[in-house]
């Protein structure tokens, strides 16, 4: 009996030294949080427009189609940013590309705030979109590459947490600044320059991705970073795993991305990206005040309600962080897609039958809670895990560009749909896409919980 206990303890000790062990807390979380600041800026830049739209609509006399264009112009920049970020991230490193994104955020913030025409506003909003596109791809990729397997889901979900914090900060900032005079919308846009500057400075204090360093023949520095994250014994083992995987992954071209063995991962990545946005999350984030106005609330009350949306988004993102490495990726996606579809059906009925604004609010909050605990974070987690080291940047850029393509079309046509077919039919259409997402998740998505990146590949 004693001998059996000794053997069990020895086995547990051995397991603790494998690369599946968790990382060293403070340092690992510090560098993950710094990288995830890209997500905060991503969230702020995409959500701040919700408070700006009512005021620039009056100032520039915008139609429904023009409002859609002003809002969705950011997404055009995102599409370009994602497409352009993959190759430089693979060639020059994750840190340098994230630093470039920080600079783009600063330029966009100051440029849109000082714009005196719709054309100038759109130009600087597109520049901000470049930054959002880059951050949306490179931040989760960097975190996935530094995180131990058992904590990867949780740590990559930090990126989604900072996105929703950025959204909440934008909503709260808009609310505080709404009564600051005719230039209130300019102040709303200016605020982003401060966290963007913090992000740029903080990046000087984090290491480059160890997997990128191995790919670029610098295993010594990679080992130093892995030792800080995992300890010496585990770091040696993990470095060996990474180097062995690289021997079979020498091709870094776009041609390698479309190899037969990557067709299923690409399908999953593109599908998750498409459904994350086509199901309508950013119709709420971008147009929440407009939706609440149509349900009978004043503009000030509508902007106040967006803070509640931001709080729910934050709380249920924490739920996802808790469960992603416990329950797994796929169960969260299935539960979330189902509840999103149900909540949009209720929202559709509320608009069709003219139910109270309270019903509208409850349906929206259920939708936000369901998204924040499923498609929101899990999409980024799985896409960051799917692809081999040699083409991760390029393959992720192809997948994530579909986030922004679908987001662009939804955000562009949503105000037009509200005008032409009404809120009831618009939300009914979005509910249909939620149930299509459910079918996709059931059929194609594979569980990646607890596996090393090389094991998944």
Cα torsion through 108, 193, 105, 110, rounded to 10: 10
Please name the residue that has the structure tokens 């889901």: 153
Q: What is the pLDDT of residues 303-362, one digit of tens each?
A: 667 778 878 888 999 999 899 888 989 999 999 999 999 999 999 998 888 777 788 888
Instruction: Indicate if the pLDDT at residue 3 is higher than 60.
Output: no
Which of the 8 DSSP states describes residue 23?
Answer: -
pLDDT of residue 438: 97
pLDDT digits (tens, 9 = 90+) for 61-120: 887 777 878 877 888 898 899 888 888 888 898 999 999 999 999 999 999 999 888 889
pLDDT greater than 80 at residue 452: no
What string of DSSP letters covers 252-269? -SHHHHTSGGGHHHHHHH
**Distance between CA atoms of 384 and 381, rounded to whole angstroms?**
5
Give per-residue pLDDT as tens, 128-177.
Answer: 999 988 988 899 889 888 888 788 888 888 888 888 888 888 888 888 89
Taking residues 367-389, report their average pLDDT.
Answer: 90
pLDDT over 70 (residue 247): no
Contact 43, 161 (CB under 8 A): no
- Say which DSSP state 205 is in: G
367, containing H or E segment: helix 357-372
Cβ(174)–Cβ(188) below 8 Å? yes
SS3 for 328? Answer: coil
For each of the domains in the chain, give its residue range(s) and CATH number, in order of start: 24-456 (1.20.1250.20)
Q: Rounded to whole angstroms, how far apart are CA atoms 243 and 248?
A: 9
Q: Mean pLDDT of all residues in the chain?
A: 83
387-421 tens-digit pLDDT: 887 778 788 888 988 988 888 888 778 878 888 88
C-alpha distances (whole Å) from 183 to each of 52, 178, 186, 188, 190 are: 10, 9, 5, 9, 11
Q: For 190-221, what is each residue's pLDDT tens digit? A: 999 999 999 999 999 999 988 888 888 888 88
């Amino acid at each position: 009996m004693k001998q059996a206990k000794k053997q069990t303890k020895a086995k547990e000790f051995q397991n603790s030294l494998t690369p599946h062990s968790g990382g060293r807390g403070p340092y690992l979380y510090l560098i993950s949080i710094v990288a995830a600041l890209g997500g905060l800026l991503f969230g702020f830049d995409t959500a701040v427009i919700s408070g700006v739209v009512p005021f620039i609509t009056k100032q520039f006399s915008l139609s429904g189609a023009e409002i859609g264009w002003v809002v969705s112009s950011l997404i055009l920049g995102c599409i370009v940013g994602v497409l352009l970020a993959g190759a430089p991230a693979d060639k020059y490193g994750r840190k340098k590309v994230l630093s470039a994104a920080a600079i783009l955020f600063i330029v966009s913030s100051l440029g849109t705030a000082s714009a005196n025409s719709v054309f100038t506003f759109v130009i600087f909003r597109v520049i901000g979109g470049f930054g959002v596109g880059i951050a949306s791809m490179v931040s989760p990729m960097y975190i996935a590459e530094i995180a131990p397997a058992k904590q990867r889901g949780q740590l990559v979900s930090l990126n989604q947490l900072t996105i929703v914090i950025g959204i909440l900060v934008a909503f709260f900032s808009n609310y505080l600044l709404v009564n600051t005079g005719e230039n209130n919308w300019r102040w709303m846009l200016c605020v982003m320059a401060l966290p963007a500057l913090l992000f740029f400075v903080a990046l000087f204090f984090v290491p480059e991705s160890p997997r990128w360093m191995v790919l670029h023949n610098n295993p010594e520095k990679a080992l130093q970073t892995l030792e800080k994250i995992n300890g010496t014994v585990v770091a040696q083992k993990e470095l060996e795993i990474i180097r062995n995987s690289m021997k079979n992954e020498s091709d870094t071209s776009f041609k390698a991305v479309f190899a037969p063995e990557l067709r299923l991962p690409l399908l999953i990545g593109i599908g998750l990206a498409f459904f994350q946005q086509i199901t309508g999350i950013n119709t709420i984030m971008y147009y929440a005040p407009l939706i609440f106005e149509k349900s009978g609330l004043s503009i000030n009350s509508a902007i106040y309600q967006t803070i509640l949306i931001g709080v729910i988004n934050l709380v249920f993102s924490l739920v996802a962080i808790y469960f992603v490495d416990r329950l797994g990726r796929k169960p969260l996606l299935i539960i979330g897609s189902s509840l999103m579809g149900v909540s949009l059906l209720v929202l559709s009925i509320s608009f069709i039958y003219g139910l109270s604004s309270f019903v509208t609010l409850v349906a929206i909050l259920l939708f936000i809670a369901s998204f924040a605990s499923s498609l929101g974070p899990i999409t980024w987690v799985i896409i960051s895990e799917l692809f081999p080291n040699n083409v991760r940047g390029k393959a992720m850029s192809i997948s994530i560009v579909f986030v922004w393509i679908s987001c662009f079309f939804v955000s562009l046509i949503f105000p037009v749909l509200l005008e032409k077919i009404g809120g009831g039919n618009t939300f009914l259409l979005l509910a249909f896409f939620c149930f299509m997402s459910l079918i996709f998740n059931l059929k194609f998505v594979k569980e990646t919980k607890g596996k090393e990146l090389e094991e998944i590949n």
